[in-house]
Structure 1
Amino acid sequence: MSFTRSGGESWLTDSDDTTCNTGNIQSVSVTLDTSIPLTWVRVGISDAVYLDQIQLSYQLSGSSTSLACPGLCKAKVDNQTLDIECSTTEPVSGVTLSGSGVTGLCSLYISGGRNVALKQTAQQSSRYSPPYAPDSFKAENAVDGVLPGDTVERSARSTCTHTVPDTQPGWWTVTFSQAVDVTWFLIYNRADCGQGCRDRLVNFTLTAQSDPRPATSYSYTDPGGYGQTSYTVVPSPRISFPVSLVRFVTANYINILALCEVFVFGETNCPAGRFGLRCERQCNCANQESCFVHNGRCPSGCATGYTGEECSGG
């Protein structure tokens, strides 16, 4: 997640892990460009001595009060990198690092989750397939990781979805191979064919559902107006149940639904002792504790006989 630093110095925002705090600063505050629930934070430092001397707090959107992370948990990635698990239920607007370790701070990465929709199973109610491009507008185009305009060669036909005009609302779904804990959504609309195309997404409805469906669900409806190039949807409070399927339904008068990329940010809802995008890997932590689901790091180190960043081998 991108952010700006209140102090203005560039060493924290220059994407260079080798430029570090050169003063005696022991507190750094940043403002997130988009308020989102947090999942974890990574800090890079100049010397291992600073790893245990950094404290993390955050400010909720609309508040200046600093709060401590619930269930704060830290895991060393290497001698100069520390991951801090900090999962919040409400959107966060700012993060503060404090303590003597900040004097060795070089970099800060803030995560609201990974894009768990990438390459997952997508379906749509119908597919517009013009005779000159019969392989166009597939459902999976919206989770292929390619944004509109990323390359000259990729046209909307090859990176966007498009249903046919119908008497029933067009729909599109993405189904996760493993249930996920969702934090927020980023949706890219078509931007290649004018306002008329963008307006097809006006008043869309987004639904996140649990499995078995529809036992539990979250729903958001676009408030209307003109179609936007992109939409950011941040549930507040955060969705409280593991999500198995996300569904979009159109509300435009000819029922065409077009999506160019759907990002669903969050982390996989893994059982204790498992990690990975599909919970396919086993934690090998000391005291049989759980590891960080996003990278397998162990807060108290590896179990006997296991070594390495992911405690994966002896």
Structure 2
Amino acid sequence: YDMLRQVDEPVPEVDEAFAKWVHSLRPLITKEGDEIRNLIGAMKGVSILVHMCQSFKDDEVVDDCIVVLHDLCSSPVALEELVVLGGLQVCVDILLDETRREWVHLHMLQLLVRVVVTPDVKLSLMQLGACPAIIRLVNHSDTSVVKRALTLLSQCSTEEQNVEYYQSLGAAMIEPLLLLCENDFDITVLGLATGLLDKLVGTDAQKEIFVRLNAVSALLRVVSHSTDPRPKEHAMSVLRLLCMDPTIRRGIIDKGGLAPLVQATHYGETMEIRKHAGVVLAEISLSDAMAPQLEMLEGGKVFSHLEKPKKR
């Protein structure tokens, strides 16, 4: 290890020896568990692995290091050591490296999902510039990568500063999530994507971006087709916050959104879904031009169980 850190030029024999060492650790940790983790920790294993991730170009060696780090970081001591040694920056650098193979990125996302357990780490990860790389992976063709990327963004969104940072990214953050709602049928993906959108719609500037990106289509698709109540609830919540805008209200009408909204008020799986749908319909009904279309649905019984909205 000392040789590896001190030489300016790689020594093939040393590199090969360390590559074999790391590769042998993967099955060993699985088999021996805590005993081998403690042993690796005692011999500065985390420090070695972080350094190898940084200095080795071979994807297979780096991937071995990442997987072993993932196992080691189940220990709070190893996790703390990774952060103290600057391992987060190394992790972010690997995510930003588009030349790495997809399974390297997948395992790195898995590692980071395990690592981001404290507010400080969550904030540090965003400050180190991880967000653009994670957003890029949200558009990945492999659903496993997409799920890990969304999970990581979702975990970090528990910190208010990170949500503000997400919001500052504007369309760069919102558009990939809307595309997932438009095109993906995976329940987990839809749940994570709509959950993030629900947090991003807070400010007037964000609402304008949703309007500009024609968010209604994607959100109505989730409302109409999701078999899980969680994505529906988030999508309804976003529509509720957006429907103050006349463009959104008109978009709901034009895209056939009234029928699924009416259905949701009666048959929504949760109280929140029914409540959000009722508020959206009530907001739409305040427009004289749109009220007749609501009356045609179910013979005007849409609001039979809701408080009659007052004219503005």
Q: Same fold (TM over 0.5)?
A: no
From the two aligned structures, give the one with the greater strand fraction: 1
Q: Which has the larger radius of gyration?
A: 2
* TM score, norm. by length of structure 1: 0.21
Identify the structure with bigger relative contact order (alpha carbons < 8 Å, sequence gap 6+).
1
